[in-house]
C-alpha cells in the first residue's frame, strides 16, 4: 500500500463519491477506481458497499479509515518537517501559461509564490497547443491550459466551481466592417473577409486554419502573429478580422474595434490544470491547485 492510495481512499470516504473526490484531488475518476481496486486486491478485502445512499464503508474500510487518518497526518508532518530542514536547496517548478491565463490568474500565482518561499517558480508563456507538447516533452511541469486535449501522455483536468472555467471566442473587426453590428457571426459569414491570425501554437490559430480550409478562404490569411495586441492594432491596416478570446476585451483599449461573438460549436474553450500522467504528485502541486481554485 502506498501513501497516495491511502490519501485517495480517505478523500473518497470524506466526499462519499468517487467523482467528487476526483474533482477535489484533481485526478481522474478512473485513476481513483483503479487505485482502490489495487488496494482491495492487495489485502483481499472489500472497502466499500454501494447502496441507495451512496458509498458505505465495510468494517474493513472503517478500520482502514480510522487508522489511516493518523498515518497520513504523521506522514505529512514528517514530509513538511524534512522540507523545512532544507537550508540552501529549493524545489523548482516550471508552470506553463497562456497569455489569458497569465492575466486572469497572476494574482493567485503571485500569492502561491509568496506562500512557498522554498519553491523556485519559472513561468513559461505560450499557446495551449504548444504548451501541451512542451508538457508531454518534459519542458514544463504543469500549466493552466485550454482544451481540447491533443497530447495523449498528459491529463487536462477542468477547472470547475470557480469563477473562471473557460473563455469565449469573438471575431474582432474594425467598427466600419458591415458585420460589426451583428449579434454574432459564423464562419460562413466570414468567407469573403481578410484574416489575420494567431499561429498554430494557439488553439484559435488552429481553429482559424482548419475553418479556412473548410470554407475555402485559406489564401485570405495575410498575417500571423502571436502578440494579440499587435494583431488588434493591425486590423484597420489590413481591413481584416481575427479570432480572439472575448475576455481580452476588458484588457484592451484599442479604438474603433467591434467584438462580435463567434457563432460556432467551437465558440467556447474550457480550461484546466494540465500535468503528465506519469507525474509524481507533490504537495507543491496540490498547493498550486488550491491557489488557482480560489479565483
Work out whether strand 257-261 and strand 268-276 pair parallel, antiparallel, or are unpaired. unpaired
User: What is the CATH T-level fold of the domain 166-268, as seen in this structure?
Assistant: D-Maltodextrin-Binding Protein; domain 2 (3.40.190)
From CA 112, how far away is CA 97, in angstroms rounded?
Answer: 15
Position 281 scores a pLDDT of 81
Question: Which CATH architecture best describes the domain 91-162+270-293?
Answer: 3-Layer(aba) Sandwich (3.40)
Strand pairing class (268-276; 54-57)? unpaired
Instruction: Please compute the mean of the pLDDT values over residues 197-204 and round it to a whole number.
Output: 96
State which CATH number among 3.40.50.620, 4.10.520.10, 3.90.550.10, 1.10.10.10 fits the domain covering 3-84: 1.10.10.10
* Those residues with Cβ within 8 angstroms of residue 106's Cβ, 6 or more apart along the chain or in another chain: none
- For the CA atoms of the chain, what is the radius of gyration? 23
Q: Residue 237 pLDDT more than 90?
A: yes
Residue-wise pLDDT for 245-287, tens only, equals 999 999 998 999 999 999 999 999 999 999 999 888 888 888 8
Taking only the tens place, the pLDDT of each residue in 74-126 is 888 888 777 666 555 678 899 999 999 999 999 999 988 888 888 889 999 99
* pLDDT average, residue stretch 201-229: 93
Q: Which of 67-81, 159-173, 211-225 is least confident?
A: 67-81
Specify the domain boundaries for CATH 3.40.190.10 within the chain: 91-162+270-293, 166-268
Element (H, E) at 59: helix 59-84
pLDDT tens-place string over residues 127-137: 999 999 999 99
Cross-strand bridge partners of residue 241: 195
Q: Is the pTM value of this prediction over 0.75?
A: no
Residues of the chain with CATH 1.10.10.10: 3-84
Amino acid at each position: 500500500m502506498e501513501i497516495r492510495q491511502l490519501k485517495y481512499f480517505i478523500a473518497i470516504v470524506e466526499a462519499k463519491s468517487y467523482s467528487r473526490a476526483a474533482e477535489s484531488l484533481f485526478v481522474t475518476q478512473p485513476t481513483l477506481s483503479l487505485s482502490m481496486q489495487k488496494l482491495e486486491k492487495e489485502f483481499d478485502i472489500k472497502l466499500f458497499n454501494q447502496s441507495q445512499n451512496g458509498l458505505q464503508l465495510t468494517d474493513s474500510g472503517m478500520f482502514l479509515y480510522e487508522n489511516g487518518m493518523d498515518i497520513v497526518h504523521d506522514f505529512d508532518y514528517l514530509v513538511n518537517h524534512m522540507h523545512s530542514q532544507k537550508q540552501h536547496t529549493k524545489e523548482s517548478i516550471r508552470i506553463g501559461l497562456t497569455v489569458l491565463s497569465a492575466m486572469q490568474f497572476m494574482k493567485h500565482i503571485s500569492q502561491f509564490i509568496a506562500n512557498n518561499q522554498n519553491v523556485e517558480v519559472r513561468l513559461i508563456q505560450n499557446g495551449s497547443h504548444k504548451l501541451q507538447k512542451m508538457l508531454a516533452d518534459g519542458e514544463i511541469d504543469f500549466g493552466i491550459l485550454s482544451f481540447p486535449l491533443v497530447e495523449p501522455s498528459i491529463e487536462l483536468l477542468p477547472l470547475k466551481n470557480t469563477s473562471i472555467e473557460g473563455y469565449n471566442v469573438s471575431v474582432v473587426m474594425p467598427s466600419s466592417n458591415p458585420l460589426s453590428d451583428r449579434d454574432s457571426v459564423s464562419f460562413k459569414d466570414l468567407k469573403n473577409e481578410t484574416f489575420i491570425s494567431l499561429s498554430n501554437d494557439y488553439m484559435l490559430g488552429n481553429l482559424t486554419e482548419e475553418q479556412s480550409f473548410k470554407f475555402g478562404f485559406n489564401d485570405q490569411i495575410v498575417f500571423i502573429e502571436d502578440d494579440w495586441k499587435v494583431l488588434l492594432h493591425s486590423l484597420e491596416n489590413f481591413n481584416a478580422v481575427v479570432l480572439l478570446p472575448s475576455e481580452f476585451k476588458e484588457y484592451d483599449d484599442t479604438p474603433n474595434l467591434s467584438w462580435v461573438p463567434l457563432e460556432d460549436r467551437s465558440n467556447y474553450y474550457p480550461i484546466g490544470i494540465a500535468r503528465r500522467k506519469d507525474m509524481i504528485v507533490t504537495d507543491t502541486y496540490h498547493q498550486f491547485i488550491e491557489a488557482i481554485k480560489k479565483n
